[in-house]
Amino acid sequence: MTIQTTAVSNSATTVYSSTNNTAITYMELTNVSGGALTVDIHVIPNGDSLSNTNIIAKTLSIATLDSYQLYTGGEKLLLANGDTVQVTASAATGINAVVSFTAI
């Protein structure tokens, strides 16, 4: 397994891009700012663009110094080559993403 970390901004930020076929086994968004922030999370198939049809969380609120976990406890998100996970935060700084993934 591999771990990738990304600072998320207030524009669409790719926190993971699949090379070949992969599975996300863990994903966490952490708010390190002094106030609550919101995020939009999109899972985008290769060739598509960010839209309301591929959003999995809309204006998800993360309290200050708190985290939100996706794909834990045995859950997996299977991705094909070129698929991406993109996150947009309500502020330019403050949200960090940690993604763990493996080849399948």
pLDDT at residue 72, as a whole number: 72
Task: Kindly state the DSSP code that residue 36 receives in the 8-state scheme.
Answer: -
Domain that holds residue 62: 2-103
What is the residue-level pLDDT of the chain in tens, covering all 104 positions?
Answer: 699 999 999 999 999 999 999 999 999 999 999 999 999 999 999 999 999 999 999 999 999 999 999 977 788 999 999 999 999 999 999 999 999 999 99
The pLDDT assigned to 74 comes to 82
Number of domains making up the chain: 1
Q: Which amino acid does the sequence have at 41?
A: I
Take residue 36 and report the two structure tokens written for it. 């609550």
pLDDT of residue 71: 77
* Gap between the Cα atoms of 70 and 43, Å rounded: 12
| CATH number, residue 19 | 2.60.120.340
